[in-house]
Chains A and B, each alone.
Chain A
């Protein structure tokens, strides 16, 4: 299966020469196998993804949560406006409102001119929680993780390959940080032994304490999570909008001085083949 990253920026899209290398679009990735296509999150990166998936009649969009940086691009995903397409949107269940109702808050006036119920494609919504389900050749596990509001991460499996997608996650929330026992680590089941783990690493170690509770990880906590879960390779993502390419590379270099886990910075446009 082929993983492509369409947006790895956190919080708000950025543009300009300082963020050109790692990219300024917000969260979106795709996982493809044959004609089957999964799209992970609908941040601004999904706009370009839409133009690249004309071969698939059915497209499944898996939303981790409904913060704006994960749904802002949905209305610009061209297959939504193609009557020949069958689009399935999967997202975390809430205890109070339906997924349709929550997405419609954004995809409705005055924030957006077209109502979700009026998009021309064949649209179906599915709510997930701590679930395991199949889409085409993929087996998918979703679990609630620590992040404000209903939020899930996804473990995508095909044959023996595993790609885990947890772009927004604060497993270290607590007075003493992450509890270093797998049984007590949010998201552990999703990431255990993954071939590739994409994980939130928005902050430096120094930035994190004044942003505790915002739902994101320091690069050090992301590395610790990767180590505890024995992920084989980890992509640090959800880059802070204030972090330039040069700053991100300094963060990574500093992290690598104290850790030997296999990591890299997630980069918009990059592809990973899991074969």
Chain B
């Protein structure tokens, strides 16, 4: 079994220490790790699901812009990071598991190895206070 590169392992270890939801994907968007706060957002436990294909986990969130219009996937920070390997940040709304709209900010960044290789991406979900 091939192990992940240490840049991925260290990102997981960092995520494991944080109280904010963190999602780590491979280069095509397959979810390879999410931490405990992210489990609440996703409604699933990493121990139960393990890695999740992009087709499966990308449909969990329904994103809307601040005017209430549905957002295209290519507008989402993580999708943009996976596309061009740059960091992005955006505030928008997602429909929570209970069906409520939740304002949220997402920061995404690429994991570029010491050798300069693109290994995957990280998305951090910052919950905003409801106005």
Contacts and interface: CB of A to CB of B under 8 A. Distances in A.
Interface of A: 93-95, 129-130, 143-146, 150, 173-176, 179, 182-189
Given A150-B114, A175-B16, A186 B1 contact: no
Interface string B5-45: 11001101100110000000000000000000000000000
Contacts, number: 53
Contacts of A173: 10, 13
Interface of B: 1-6, 9-10, 12-13, 16-17, 113-116
Contacts of A150: 114
A95 B114 contact: yes
10 contacts: A95-B114, A129-B114, A146-B6, A174-B17, A179-B12, A179-B13, A182-B1, A182-B3, A184-B3, A187-B3
Contacts of A176: 16
Contacts of B13: 173-175, 179
A186 B9 contact: yes
Name A's interface SS: loop
A93 B113 CA distance: 12
A188 B8 CA distance: 14
Residue picked from B1, B5, B9, B10, most chain A C-beta under 10 Å = B9
A96 B61 CA distance: 40
Contacts of A175: 13, 16-17
